[in-house]
Structure 1
């Protein structure tokens, strides 16, 4: 065999080996594939049993409350709630969404993105509504359970009750928002939450998911947007702590005088003035502005 024949045979052998080598795709999923993945997840969530959905929703409420508590802890000594202090709070709060996404918990706000499955005709309106209602109830139960445990733990007494004062002041600010402001902040909040969840569908591994969540979630906290599940923990916690004399003395030190807490109540302050407009805003932002837009772009079937 000539030298030229040997080279050609070697080249053919190398090509055959290369063809038989499995191709490993490590790039992030493209947006079209992300949309298809969301559609399949929507079907999976629609078929999940009531008890499973409720249990996972309770866990999500617990995780959000723990993230909010951590956020309060790391920022309670700051002299300002804006700028870098707010960013630090947002970065630490991201822990909550990391726990939810990686453990598969059911978050009311994040689940709004599965409306893409409904718009695409993969699930019924009743399936979407059922999931969101169960998630809302479970999140509420989980968040209120952490109100109980944080109160029993007496962590709010930290730093001469300044942590408790921070919680009361933050809760009080939320019950004094107008309907329009609370609604708009709810819209912006869930746009960012659902964008964070949307980015996670491009991920190949858990580190990708953590990094995908970091900036959208940090943004919503740093900008002071309204997340209904956070408020399910924060405002009830503030309502309980406002009855503690030492906490209110700390509030006066921080506030530079007495704080008007007359609207920090369960009925009008929490439910009417905050929770209702924030929930409506969260639903609009997640279902219409994120799920609806990405359905229109990637899953809509064009008319022939």
Structure 2
């Protein structure tokens, strides 16, 4: 253990010394993306190191970070600014963008059912692979459309607008307005799309859709609530990081892993369920599932869990470390 510690310190000192000495021979072969701000930060860092203001280990830890995604403090600041803009939007704009986001997430849900829900042989022989495919093909696509095209997604807003509230850039009234209008818009878009899909005859797996609806309303309140927490913690992490990325590739990579993971292990997303459950009802589940079951036994507990996952689990720790929550 002590040997590893010595090696780590030695490596840190070596890296810091190299940074202070300037570029090494042959370093012209390595080109990094940089911005004027990043260059200025690197120059200031090198100057502080040469002046002895930074110890070698501190120099390594505080070195400016490159890349296409903001560092953690920048991600928090970005979330605050984005949440403030969402909080200031008009109710009409939030509802309209919420409807679009309901459609986008619904398209993802339809893709998941069409691909991952239509491979019974794989599900029987290798259920883990089927869950992976169900998660990879569908909801990541839907969330990607929301993030790139723009929208108002209730689940992501639970984290973003909360961050703005903590930093004094939104009021409680703003938060209630945004959450309510985005939730209503998401519901309208999701149900409309479910009706459209059935009317158009493009639901390739009606039996799977009906089975999903029956299964989701059969779970007790508390497990469903807890699944909502886990789900939106991961969704909001995806939104948090992807919103701080600058390229489509980085946004997609930041988003696909947590979203496909929560789908694969069966967590609950309120907006996705706003599409999947009505689709199941329209596909034959109405014989055993009512609209009251849909809301009381699933969407309500999942919504509450999503709020906890986004506002408390995702936002509050970062607000305490990088924001003003405990300051």
Q: Distance in 2 between matches of 1:35 and 1:53?
A: 22
Contact kept, 8 Å, 2:194 with 2:279, in 1: the verdict is yes
Could you tell me how far 1:45 is from its partner in structure 2? 1.0
Q: Which residue of 2 aligns with 1:272?
A: 296
CA deviation map 1:235-263 (0-9, x unaligned): 1111122179xxxxxxxxxxxxxxxx63x
Q: Which residue of 1 aligns with 2:195?
A: 148
Q: Which residue of 2 aligns with 1:95?
A: 141
Contact kept, 8 Å, 1:64 with 1:97, in 2: the verdict is yes
Q: Distance in 1 between matches of 2:276 and 2:190?
A: 9
Matched, 1:235 2:280: no
Of 142, 153, 156 in structure 2, the residue corresponding to residue 110 of structure 1 is 156
Matched, 1:288 2:317: no
- The SS at the match of 1:83 is helix
Could you tell me how far 1:29 is from its partner in structure 2? 1.0
Q: Distance in 2 between matches of 1:292 and 1:120?
A: 11
Q: Which residue of 2 aligns with 1:18?
A: none
Point out the more displaced range, 75-84 or 214-223. 75-84
Structure 2 stretches lacking a partner, 5+ long: 1-33, 39-65
CA deviation map 1:156-185 (0-9, x unaligned): 2x4xxxx10010011110010100110010
TM-score of the pair, normalised by structure 2? 0.76
Give me the CA root mean square deviation: 1.8
Q: Which residue of 2 aligns with 1:66?
A: 107
Contact kept, 8 Å, 1:66 with 1:96, in 2: the verdict is yes
Could you tell me how far 1:300 is from its partner in structure 2? 2.0
Could you tell me how far 1:24 is from its partner in structure 2? 6.8
Contact kept, 8 Å, 1:31 with 1:202, in 2: the verdict is no
Q: Report 1 or 2 for greater relative contact order, CA contacts < 8 Å, sequence distance ≥ 6.
A: 1
Matched, 1:223 2:250: no
Q: Which residue of 1 aligns with 2:206?
A: 164
- The SS at the match of 1:109 is helix
CA deviation map 1:131-175 (0-9, x unaligned): 01000000000001101110111122x4xxxx1001001111001
Q: Distance in 1 between matches of 2:199 and 2:284?
A: 15
* Correspondence 1:195-234 to 2 at 5 A: 195-234=237-276
Q: Which residue of 1 aligns with 2:5?
A: none
Could you tell me how far 1:276 is from its partner in structure 2? 1.0
Q: Which residue of 2 aligns with 1:136?
A: 183
Q: Distance in 2 between matches of 1:75 and 1:37?
A: 34
Q: Which residue of 2 aligns with 1:120?
A: 167
* Correspondence 1:11-26 to 2 at 5 A: 23=36, 25=38
Structure 1 stretches lacking a partner, 5+ long: 1-20, 245-260
- The SS at the match of 1:76 is helix
Q: Which residue of 1 aligns with 2:4?
A: none
Q: Which residue of 1 aligns with 2:72?
A: 31
Which consecutive aligned stretches of 4+ in structure 1 deviate over 6 angstroms post-superposition?
Answer: none
- The SS at the match of 2:137 is helix
Q: Distance in 2 between matches of 1:32 and 1:137?
A: 32
Contact kept, 8 Å, 1:29 with 1:201, in 2: the verdict is no
Could you tell me how far 1:101 is from its partner in structure 2? 0.3
Q: Distance in 2 between matches of 1:276 and 1:171?
A: 15
